[in-house]
Chain A
């Protein structure tokens, strides 16, 4: 299986900060990557698919970049409602795999 590694596992930032979350795949997945936001007690919510395509209804401060094995989710200006855990997921193979998550908190 393709291993997905996210860093950092915990990130503290202030409102208005530019925040960068990282995700690395153990094999080439090209652009078959999604980013999710998960708040406590809720299902994951899709933010980005195909590495850099915006899901409808997601605030424009969220953006994705990268390809092949290295990917980034950027929040351009952190808002209080962005406190959550963020997961990356590859769907290049028939068995999806997920990163361990980055927990984002307010400083």
Chain B
């Protein structure tokens, strides 16, 4: 069946980077964009951006420009999101999604010294 499998929980130090993955299965990967969403208790759900899985073209929410970098590996049907210069405000659950209908299970990122 169609699913997005995300990488596991991350514990990171302030100032470091993490790279999350989102592996697609059950459909033709390059037919759909992949979007990334951040969820925190305080800020709710926030759209980070999306990537055209065929061309690699990206669209970022202004708030996350410079924080998130989206890439894709078509050979493995996997999308990636790198978060850089981490601060405690980046602690959240991050989801990838195919359109509105298929979401990954989420990946928890905790930034703490």
Q: Which residues of A come within 8 Å of B, CB atoms?
A: 34, 42-46, 49, 55, 87, 89, 91, 94-101
Contacts and interface: CB of A to CB of B under 8 A. Distances in A.
A32 to B, nearest CB: 10
A96 B61 CA distance: 9
B87 interface: no
Contacts, number: 38
Interface of B: 35, 37, 44-47, 50, 59, 61, 95, 100-101, 103-106
A100 B105 contact: no
A43 B101 contact: no
A42 B37 CA distance: 14
Nearest to A50: B100
A45 B105 CA distance: 10
A94 B37 CA distance: 13
A87 B45 contact: yes
B103 A44 contact: yes
20 contacts: A43-B104, A43-B105, A43-B106, A44-B45, A44-B95, A46-B100, A55-B101, A87-B44, A89-B100, A91-B100, A95-B47, A96-B37, A96-B47, A97-B47, A98-B44, A98-B46, A98-B47, A99-B44, A100-B44, A101-B44
